[in-house]
């Protein structure tokens, strides 16, 4: 049944959905900074198209994807205007931001890895490109708004993108149908991030051993 749906159609819609949810996460961050509506639109647009833009720049494939496809910009601006008025209705904008970011992370790690493989990159590069596509839009958002990057929060974050991109590259190398690889990788990345968000789970982190460091005070 699923095999009857063309993969390009799925990837195309996932891409649109990823841009939209990252644009929403940008608008919600703008709301935390009490920006005006143009600020909402700018942060939403940069967040929505930022990850894919950096991916296209690194792959060196000429003008980035939205330069001749302005509908991406209309989508981001539309989401920004909607949230400028609708955000106050959200029970908790910070939780909404985290979930929109999680969905974008899961979508873009697949899209990024898929685009890199299509451009002929080896698998390891495709995994990194998935992680960069998934995390750098949000990073630019947080830098633009002077917020602490989500990547620094305790819960599993970049790990979800890395595993998701790895699942896609692995299934692709194993000859799986593109649609199966896409959906499995998305579900894996989103599931891992969701567990991190709902349970506060994290990988074992590096811990300073107190008393061994000079110049590290306050970080231990």
- For a second copy, the binding residues in 163-192 under the rule CB under 8 A are none
Q: Smallest distance from the beta carbon of 32 to a second copy, in angstroms?
A: 5
Q: Smallest distance from the beta carbon of 219 to a second copy, in angstroms?
A: 5
Q: Smallest distance from the beta carbon of 215 to a second copy, in angstroms?
A: 4
What is the C-alpha separation between 109 and 4, in angstroms, rounded?
24
Task: Rank residues 7 and 81 by Cβ distance to a second copy and give the closer one.
Answer: 81
Contact residue for a second copy among 82, 158, 184, 195 (CB under 8 A): 158
Contact residue for a second copy among 1, 3, 4, 146 (CB under 8 A): 146
Q: Which of residues 52-91 bind a second copy (CB under 8 A)?
A: 53, 57-64, 66-68, 70, 73-74, 84, 87-88, 91
Residue from 95, 49, 96 nearest 73 by CA: 49
What's the gap between Cα 169 and its chain centre?
A: 17
159 binds a second copy (CB under 8 A): yes
What b-and-e string marks burial along 61-92, b requiring 16 or more CB atoms within 10 Å of the CB?
eeebbbeeeeebbebbbebbeebbeebeeeee
Q: Which residues fall within 8 angstroms of residue 143, CB to CB, at 6 or more apart?
A: 149
Residue from 192, 117, 124 nearest 161 by CA: 192
For 202, other C-beta atoms within 10 Å of its C-beta total: 13
Q: Smallest distance from the beta carbon of 57 to a second copy, in angstroms?
A: 6
Task: Rank residues 18 and 196 by Cβ distance to a second copy and give the closer one.
Answer: 196
Q: Which of residues 188-217 bind a second copy (CB under 8 A)?
A: 202-209, 212-216
9 binds a second copy (CB under 8 A): no
38 binds a second copy (CB under 8 A): yes
List strand residue ranges (DSSP E) for 82-173, in order.
none
Contact 139, 161 (CB under 8 A): no
Candidate segments 18-26, 106-114, 137-145, 171-179, binder of a second copy by CB under 8 A: 137-145
What is the C-alpha separation between 149 and 26, in angstroms, rounded?
13
Q: Smallest distance from the beta carbon of 47 to a second copy, in angstroms?
A: 13
């Amino acid at each position: 049944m699923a095999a009857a749906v063309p993969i390009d159609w799925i990837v195309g819609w996932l891409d649109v959905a990823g841009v939209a949810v990252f644009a929403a996460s940008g608008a919600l961050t703008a709301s935390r900074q009490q920006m005006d509506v143009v600020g909402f639109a700018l942060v939403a647009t940069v967040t929505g198209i930022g990850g894919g833009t950096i991916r296209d720049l690194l792959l060196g494939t000429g003008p980035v994807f939205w330069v001749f496809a302005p509908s991406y910009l209309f989508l981001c601006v539309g989401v920004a205007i909607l949230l400028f008025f609708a955000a106050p209705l959200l029970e908790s904008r910070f939780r909404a931001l985290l979930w929109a970011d999680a969905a974008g992370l899961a979508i873009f790690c697949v899209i990024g890895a898929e685009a890199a493989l299509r451009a002929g990159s080896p698998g390891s590069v495709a995994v990194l490109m998935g992680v960069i596509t998934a995390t750098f839009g949000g990073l630019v958002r947080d830098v633009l708004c002077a917020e602490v990057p989500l990547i620094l929060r305790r819960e599993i974050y970049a790990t979800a993108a890395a595993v998701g991109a790895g699942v896609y590259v692995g299934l692709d190398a194993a000859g799986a149908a593109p649609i199966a690889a896409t959906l499995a990788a998305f579900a894996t990345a989103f599931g891992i991030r969701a567990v991190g968000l709902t349970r506060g789970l994290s990988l074992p982190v590096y811990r300073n051993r107190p008393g061994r460091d000079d110049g590290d005070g306050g970080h231990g």
